[in-house]
Structure 1
Amino acid sequence: MGNGWHEWPLMVFTVLGQCVAGGFIVMALALMTGVSERAQQKRVHWAMIVLWILMGIGFMASVLHLGSPLRAFNSLNRIGDSALSNEIASGSVFFAVGGFWWLITVLGKMPQALGKIWMVLTMILGVFFVWMMCKVYLIDTVPTWYSAYTPLSFFLTMFIGGPLLGYLLLRVAGVQGWGMRLLPAISLLAIVMSTVVVMLQSMELATIQSSIAQASALVPQYGALMSWRLVLLAAALVCWIVPQLKGGLASPAVLTFAFVLMIAGELIGRGVFYGLHMTVGMAIAS
């Protein structure tokens, strides 16, 4: 029993990876549809460096999970056969393709037409990366993970954190288009859906048991931790939305604080996820 905090490297890797994938989609769509001024495009491009820094932090955390950096390359030994290898490979490709696009773009060497195609490809790779993360945990011998709630939770993190991260970086770049006002609604909807997932999952956990324990007992503080998670997410949303309701836009400083709150909330949720690990032989789904 526990709360999954011992898996903090994986918590950081998965949460940041999903947020970066969502954030890139937001910023790429802004560049392709709403940001037309050359000077503003350059500011957006430079702001995107934050995405790759966060992605780098995530990968460094994942290496710590392996115990030794030298084992990182071994994780790629079974691409196509191992879900873990596929996850690392897809994440590396997303990181490399997106990072290379960014580098060529900020150097002013990227043709406009090719740049749009490259951004679309990177967006697809980001979504594929998140799906490969899901596949790692869809293990039929782990009944607490082997359900629709795992991919739902992972993709909802992308829709909760991605719009906020993208919005923050676009604000730093000075973007204020009308489309920006749609992003909080996306995160709000994702948080509502995430709340429903939490309630449904808590009901399902009560049906997974062994002769000595129930899955619901794996994380005794499940309700309290998930409540704190939702409080933090709601607080982040308030920091983001209230200035808009007053007719303005949240400042980058306020948005940064909101993003920190959101990351904290999602890390709590991901910690609970890892704490729910339970294998067959010790547990069966009733």
Structure 2
Amino acid sequence: MAKDFPLVIFTLLQQMATGGFIILALLLLTKAIDQNNRLQLSKRLLVIVILSGLALMTSTLHLGHPFRGPNVLFGLGRSWLSNEVIITGLFFGSVASYWLMSWRFPEWANLKQLSLIVGLLSGLAGLSAMSLTYMIYTVPVWDTWHTAASFFTTALTAGALLALLISQSLAGEKPTQFIHLVGLIGLISCALVMAMQAQYWGGVSSAVTTPVEQFPGYASWMLTRAALLLLAALVWLAVLITRKTSSFVIFLTLALVLIAEGMGRVVFYGVHMTAGL
């Protein structure tokens, strides 16, 4: 379990950063945010840059020899792992460039727009590459659409909450409602995918073991994850009903989601089993 912890951190941070950026990029590209607040919001994207940078740094800790990490670049086009790393690097560079130009060179409007679009597209491509990295036929518990669905729904849910924190006091009523809607759809989808994934794992077996047997305490981990997601949903709904959006409550909801999804990711790696064994 401990050896996979860097991958848990990497996937969660990168998915949250990607989801948050995609949502905010859409708002910026469609000019849904007031012109006076757009530049300030762009500067706040430093948070996305930091999170993505930390994710990339953490991913190297899973390597036996971290300093040989650049060797992964030689697999471009042949390995989904190499594609994932390179696309994630492109995402990081695009977002960092956009933030730097917003801060130092706001007059470079066309280049800023290009960086925003490249960041959005590379973010989507990065989530896809990350999913395909794990969807290999020799690992039946991962080789299913549930893997991609769980990654995208995590990005949607955690990303929306991150976007709410970053755009606090800058986004108007309609953009904020849009982010809330996207996040709640992501949270509901996250719970549904978790249930379907658990059902699928229950039907997988080999001659010697099953996914449940691979992970001690499987039931308690999954139940705790479900309870945390439910609590996050209740807190989020309370925010919408009372119309009192505070940074603390949004941060609390994000923490609940990240803990729940972190537990789910630990189980995901823990149930790993190779076909035929």
TM-score range, shorter chain: over 0.9
The answer to whether 1:36 aligns with 2:34 is: yes
In structure 2, what is the Cα distance between the partners aligned to 1:192 and 1:245?
A: 17
Query: What is the percent sequence identity of the aligned residues?
Result: 29
Where does residue 107 of structure 1 map in the other structure?
104
Within 5 Å, which residues of 2 pair with 1:108-147? 108-147=105-144
* Larger RCO, structures 1/2 (Cα 8 Å, 6+ apart): 1
Gaps of 5+ in 1: none
Deviations 1:20-53 (A, max 9, x none): 1110011112223222233x22321222111111
Q: How big is the shift at 1:181? A: 1.4
Query: Does 2:198 correspond to 1:202?
Result: yes
**Change in 2 beyond 3 A, CA 1:253/1:88:** same
Matches within 5 A, 1:70-81: 70-81=67-78
8 Å Cα contact 1:208-1:215 kept in structure 2: yes
How does the TM-score come out when normalised to structure 1?
0.90
Q: Is the 8 A contact 2:160 2:182 kept in 1?
A: yes
Tell me the C-alpha RMSD between the 2 structures: 1.8
Name the counterpart of 1:278.
Answer: 273
Q: 1:257: which partner in 2?
A: 252
Give the 3-state SS of the residue equivalent to 2:75 in structure 1: coil
> 5 Å matches for 1:163-202?
163-171=160-168, 173-202=169-198
Amino acid aligned to 2:234 = V
TM-score w.r.t. length of structure 2: 0.92
User: Is contact 2:3-2:62 (8 Å) kept?
Assistant: no
Give the 4+ runs in structure 1 shifted more than 6 A.
Answer: none
Q: Which amino acid aligns with 1:259?
A: L
Q: Does 1:92 align with 2:94?
A: no
Consecutive unaligned residues of structure 2, counting only runs of 5 or more, are none
2:187/2:233 contact within 8 Å kept:
no
Select the structure that is richer in helix. 2
- Give the equivalent residue in structure 2 for 1:228: 224
Query: 1:106 Cα deviation (Å)?
Result: 1.3
In the TM superposition, residue 9 of structure 1 has moved relative to its aligned partner by: 0.4
